[in-house]
Amino acid sequence: MQKAVYTITPDDLALFTDLYELTMLQSYFDAGLTGEAVFSLYLRRLPEKRNYVLACGLSDVLDYLETVRFSDEAIAYIRSLGGFSERFLAWLGQFRFDGDVYAVPEGTPVFADEPILEVVAPIAEAQLVETFVMNQIHVQSMHASKAARVIHAAEGRAIIDFGGRRAHGLDAALKAARAFHIAGVTATSNVLAGYRYGLPVAGTMAHSYVEAFDSEREAFWTFARSHPDTILLVDTYDTLAGIDNVITLAEELGPEFRVRAVRIDSGDLADLAKEARTRLDAAGLGQIGIIGSGGLDEYEIAKLVADEAPFTGFGVGTAMGVSEDAPSLDLVYKLCAYGGVGRVKLSPDKPIYPGRKQVFRHELDGTAKSDVIARLDEELEGRPLLEPVMRHGARFPGVTKELNTIRDYARKEIERLPARLRSLSPANPPYEVEISGELADYTEIVRSRHR
């Protein structure tokens, strides 16, 4: 049962579901529940340290919905668990997702209670896909939202994703790189992410390279021979001595010297960068950039920028790679209609809004002022955010997979937010999201049925 090397194949994806989805499907099948369900995916609340969440991951969800199938091997495994009828398993073998999906485009800033997507499909289809849909929108939206803060803090300086080694597993490293690109990150160090998504990849040298030589000078000299346009890591032994070694290398190589930048990974980054800048400039190496790294997050970067530390870019690893201060989003996927009738759980904390919905974003002079969550058939002022993205299991051709298009869209959408939402501090006041009168009334009607 265990494969020699860990991989995920398309056949595996149908099994990437919670067991209860399958037990519920068996029971829907037994009871003949084939009516149309509406499931809504939304955030119950924003993380404390996020003023908005950048919705991301739709493309992977649509790819999955178009292709999810149970292989014979998968069916055999489900059979082995017991409790499933042969008739149901035969039906499962023919399972296809044939539903419709409405979603906000990837790269849209969203707020609590706003549907990120709504699935409209026979209940079994909409139910089964819950686990995968949540997993992928969750991880990518979480990563994009964190990266947007880092980008903002860097005020135009390059940000390079160094997070793959501490991302949670292989998929997270790749999906993070995708989400980071959408949020505006310059490049990733992860080669597979570059390959899969066509992203710029970046990287230079590690301390281990420098240590493998008898001296740092020898290491720099050797590396620059292999990679003339490189970035040299200068803090293995003594950062400023490292800078002096770069200057010596420039003198030795003369016109052949093409090193693009140095990287400082430890110590007092602001002080070291300032002194490094002074020494490089004095040596006529004003063209050499300075990259900072080593445990950076948006707060540290904002501080370095405020201190006028002369960094031209930053490598950001763990803090962004695991979204350290908000490693999860309170994202849920809730049934809100079945058989054309609104349905909700009676939640003790806050209401779930029944039926299909639309979000209208009201803008003034190009700046978002407030959103209204409304019933689908309402026509309110503002720009509707949800659009059809899949019909009868087929992705709309207009839904782009082009990451640079999504990145451009995200940048524009973030620029349209009030400035206080881009701040690293909690927005005061937070962004205003209202529930339309009609939706509030309908919610009360549906809730009252079960009280």
> Which residues 13-52 are close enough to bind a copy of itself by CB under 8 A?
13, 15-24, 26-28, 30-31, 33, 35, 37, 39
What minimum distance in Å lies between the beta carbon of 167 and a copy of itself? 7
What is the C-alpha end-to-end distance of the chain, expressed in Å?
A: 48
CA max distance for the chain = 83
Binding mask 336-375 for a copy of itself (x = CB under 8 A): --x----xxxxxx---------------------------
Q: Is 281 in the site for a copy of itself (CB under 8 A)?
A: no
According to the binding rule CB under 8 A, does residue 252 interact with a copy of itself? no
Q: Look up tokens 């909409």; give the residue.
A: 126
| 359-361-362-364 Cα dihedral, nearest 10 degrees | -170
User: Residues 48, 72, 229, 379: which binds a copy of itself (CB under 8 A)?
Assistant: 229
Subset of 108-127 contacting a copy of itself (CB under 8 A) = 123, 127
9 is an interface residue for a copy of itself by CB under 8 A: yes
Determine the residue type at 226. S
Q: With binding defined as CB under 8 A, does residue 312 bind a copy of itself? A: no
| Contact assessment for residue 344 and residue 351, using Cβ atoms and an 8 Å cutoff | yes
Nearer to a copy of itself, 365 or 451 (CB): 451
- Per CB under 8 A, the list member of 105, 107, 164, 355 interacting with a copy of itself is 164
* Residue 448 binds a copy of itself, judged by CB under 8 A: no
Q: Which residues are within 8 A (CB) of 433 and not within 5 positions of it... i.e. 6 or more apart? A: 111, 112, 113, 114, 370, 371, 372, 373
Structural Rg of the chain based on CA atoms: 26
The nearer residue to a copy of itself, 67 or 367, going by C-beta atoms, is 67
> Between residues 138 and 157, which has the closer beta carbon with respect to a copy of itself?
138
Q: Does the footprint of a copy of itself cover residue 396 (CB under 8 A)?
A: no
Token reading at 274 = 């300032």
Pick from 148, 329, 406, 414 the residue near a copy of itself by CB under 8 A: 329
Block residue for tokens 């080694």: 165
Per CB under 8 A, contacts with a copy of itself among 182-201 are 189-192, 194-198, 201
132 vs 140: CA distance, rounded Å: 12
Phi and psi at residue 180, to the nearest 5°:
-60, -40
Of the candidate spans 235-243, 273-281, 357-365, 432-440, the one that interacts with a copy of itself by CB under 8 A turns out to be 235-243
b/e 139-158 (16+ beta carbons within 10 angstroms → b): bbbbbbbbbbbbbbbbeebb
Is the preceding peptide bond at 429 cis, omega within 30 degrees of 0? Answer: yes
How many residues at the interface with a copy of itself, by CB under 8 A?
Answer: 120
Among 51, 141, 323, 443, binds a copy of itself (CB under 8 A): 323
